[in-house]
Chain A
Amino acid sequence: MNKMNSLPGPNDIYREVLPNGITVLTRSNFNSPSVVIAGYLEAGALFDPDEKLGLAEYTVLSLMRGTMDHTFDEIYHALESVGAGLGFNTGVHKSGLHGRSLAEDLPLLLKLLSEALTTPTFPKAELDKLRAQLLTGLAIRAEDTSDMASMVFDKVLFKDHPYSRPEDGYPETIKSIKRSDLVKFHREHYGPRGMVIAIVGGVKPEEAVRQVKRALGGWETKGQREVPALPPLKPLKKTVSKHHHIRGKSQADLIIGTNGPMRRDPEFMSASIGNNILGQFGMMGRIGDVVREKSGLAYYAYSSLSAGLGPGSWEVSAGVNPQNVKKASELILDELKRFVQEGVTADELADTKANFVGRLPLSLESNGGVANALLNIERHQLGLDYYHRYADLVNEVTAEDVLTTARKFIDPDKLVIAAAGP
């Protein structure tokens, strides 16, 4: 098989914008009798008032709890009887949807999606059940060292910025949300404008688009709110350390990091390559080598870059024995210093470039992988030929680009050090 032919591109991605504003992207794959749908709407947690944080998530999770035509049980009976799945989630900017079924059941999947989005009834009894589930989830989160370290990290790094808030809210905010809040949130923020849906699998493009049109082409709403602009970030003035105590745990989670680029920033690719060398490549890069392989301090120790529509973060994470938090922090800080002082070697750069280009077919082999790629293209306006140009974009990055980018974002004297554990 030819490698290039296996990557999605303008020759086999079909894109159409429906008259009501919904963008449909599809790519056929008849190798398996299944189909995936994935997409998003402009109804994320950015719209949540502070005192009702978690409203966007509560709303999106309520959509399938009852519609004008079907009860919660009827909706799931139809889905599960054919082995199909449909679910929703919330991010800061968007709320997402994802579903899959055998190709023959795509019409059912889209019909239920359309009902959930356009005619949810928010039945009181179901909302109460869901509230108890959300509150239990938050009680479990409060005991999870990794979740809590991450919450503490975001709170400090994104102080006074919407990104400092957890999308799933707090117990008191979830308790304060009323049915009328959900109805209002749905009325004001759900609509076809800005909605994107990708369909990948055993269906022809024109048939997929026809089916989306039939299910959602007639959806019109009035007064769908505009997404608010993000306030500016307050840069860190010095390193800030916070430890969140959770009793009775045998391991602490540690996150050390700072801000990273947005996805559309020109530095994104050089930051990704730098991050891969720092804490991904092989057995978790330089960080894994120092913290796990050489010191035996942790089962996992890696770095990650989170780059989206707004300012991102660049984080090093590790799970360590509570007694080793300080030791692991020092090792990580030393690596960050080395990273911004010395940059990366020619060999490291060549390895990572080969890794980025070589792994692409693997990340795109399943329908879900391709659907995510199509959404990535659309969300960040990368162009339908993005995956065909990808190797060139990777290969043009120089060691100097990586160093410049590392220095732009990482200042070893201005970091957030967050830990959660005993």
Chain B
Amino acid sequence: MKDHLIQTTLSNGLKILLKEVHTAPIISSWVWYRVGSRDEVQGRTGISHWVEHMQFKGTDQFPANILDKAISREGGSWNAFTYLDWTAYFETMPADKIDLALRLESDRMSSSRFHSDEVASERTVIISEREGHENEPLFLLGEAVQQTAFRIHPYHHEVIGDMADLRTISRDDLYNHYRTFYVPNNAVMAVAGDFDTKSMLGRIRELFEPIPAGGDPARLSRPEPLQNGEVRLSVEGPGATSYVQVCYRFPPAPHPDFFPLSVLDSLLAGPSNLNMFSGGISNKTSRLYRALVDKEYVVGVHGGAQATIDPFMYTITMTIHPRRKPEEALAALDKEIQRLKDEKVTKEEITRAIKQARALFAYGSENITNQGFWLGYAEMFADYSWFETYLDKLSAVTAKDVLRVANEYFKPQRRVVGTYIPLEGKTSA
């Protein structure tokens, strides 16, 4: 996994990571900004995601529909993501066409227009996006659980934002947010693929170095106080299927406990895949599958954590068996959690978790886009060495470590339990 990598920082503070990969005539270019839903105050929730949408609405040099047509014409693929801690933009292009992506990203780092008529039409698009989410029981439940778990920390709201704010955020709010956070000193550029490092770096300097540095944007920092007691909630909605989500507090990605917890996740719920473009594997021999699905308390169970800057959550989601009650599934889950706290896991289970992680990394490396993704992604919550040493850190985990973190992080008084209650045709009171 350790590849030849060039890292440097331009005079305006833009950090650059370049990795030559000559397996296909393709280059993937990524720009990451240190801004996400955790940088939003009440009244402005969803603004980071909305700014991301506005970044596709054009600059003077690349007006809106010129932009997407130009990328498509060259056979490229492009998209953007807004998350808790970051916003990322990528273009994966035939190698000889990458210059278009570089010019586009340098241009929209500081010159997007944010025309008010574009803001108006995008408002209803984003409201429609949220309405689509609201059709899903698991979105409704997840949103309720997250806002309950975080009262103080800005991780409390969904990336899409609250409907009230989507109706009122103004053009100037959006533009100010953009100008505050979209500065080279708050960004990381990562490029992987079929290029020559020297000429790629030269071209990046030419395009990006003239962009002046901005102030260092302050990030919201309101640590969530210790939770002292389990919180339970319920959400009612359409459907015939019940769901239960159980969320425990999890450490941030750079924390040493993240690795024994990743091993624990692997054997409890099946390995989570942190990479975005290559999917996971089944979890039918995980402890939770055996205890909950095989025993017919639930018809499906999934667990996973996210790599974040501040402590976030480990979420277990259960789709309740039609003949069972949510409480029965929860009781069966609790038995397994207790087992983790009482008994040391076996050496074999740890070895298995490491092999699973190795396989998932191998699948991810088939794809240039994914290689570009990892370069910058790890920078958003740690640095690239976090990724390079990931397997080594997993390999160092012992059964004792797993037992310790199970007891430390899986405390009932630090969890939120949410239940989705289907109304089965009845109307909510």
Q: Which A residues contact B (CB, under 8 angstroms)?
A: 1-3, 6, 29, 31-34, 72-73, 76-77, 79-85, 87, 100-102, 129, 132-133, 135-136, 139-140, 142-145, 246-251, 281-283, 289, 292-300, 319-321, 351, 354-362, 365-368
Contacts and interface: CB of A to CB of B under 8 A. Distances in A.
B241 interface: yes
A355 B241 CA distance: 43
Contacts of B194: 1
Contacts of A132: 296, 299, 321-323
A251 B123 CA distance: 16
A283 B68 contact: yes
Nearest to B120: A296
Interface in B231-254: 237-241
Interface of B: 22-26, 56, 64-65, 68-69, 71-77, 92, 94-95, 97, 120-129, 131-132, 134-135, 137, 194, 237-241, 270-271, 278, 281-286, 290, 293-294, 296, 299-300, 319, 321-323, 352, 355-360, 362-363, 365-368, 423, 425, 427-428
B97 A358 contact: yes
A84 B264 CA distance: 19
B366 A143 contact: no
Contacts of A33: 362
A372 B239 CA distance: 36
Nearest to A283: B68
A299 B72 contact: no
Given A133-B299, A296-B124, A321-B131, 20 more contacts: A1-B24, A34-B363, A73-B284, A83-B271, A136-B299, A136-B321, A142-B240, A143-B239, A248-B423, A248-B428, A281-B69, A283-B65, A292-B125, A295-B121, A299-B129, A321-B128, A354-B74, A357-B75, A358-B76, A360-B75
A2 B264 CA distance: 45
Q: Sort A-B residue pairs by CB-CB distance and give the 5 closest, nearest first.
A: A358-B75, A83-B359, A248-B238, A296-B121, A296-B124
Given A139-B322, A249-B238, A251-B134, A83 B74 contact: no
19 contacts: A1-B25, A2-B25, A84-B281, A129-B293, A136-B319, A143-B137, A143-B238, A246-B238, A248-B427, A283-B65, A292-B125, A299-B126, A319-B128, A319-B132, A357-B75, A358-B75, A358-B94, A361-B24, A365-B368
Prevailing SS type, chain B contact patch: mixed
Contacts of B122: 296
Contacts of A283: 56, 65, 68
Nearest to B283: A80
Given A247-B425, A283-B56, A362-B77, A294 B121 contact: yes
Contacts of A133: 299-300
Contacts of A361: 24-26, 75, 94
Given A34-B362, A250-B134, A321-B131, A83 B121 contact: no
A282 B131 CA distance: 24
A80 B94 contact: no
B359 A34 contact: yes
Nearest to A357: B75
Contacts of B75: 354-362
B115 to A, nearest CB: 13
Contacts of B124: 296-297
A365 B355 contact: no
Contacts of A365: 23-24, 26, 366-368
Contacts of A100: 363
A135 B322 contact: yes
B329 to A, nearest CB: 13
A257 B59 CA distance: 35
A298 B124 CA distance: 8
A361 B285 CA distance: 37
Contact of A359 (B76, B132, B322): B76
B294 to A, nearest CB: 7
Nearest to B67: A282
Contacts of A360: 75
Nearest to B324: A132
A42 B172 CA distance: 59
A304 to B, nearest CB: 16
Nearest to A133: B299
B380 to A, nearest CB: 24
Given A80-B284, A101-B359, A249-B135, A354 B73 contact: yes
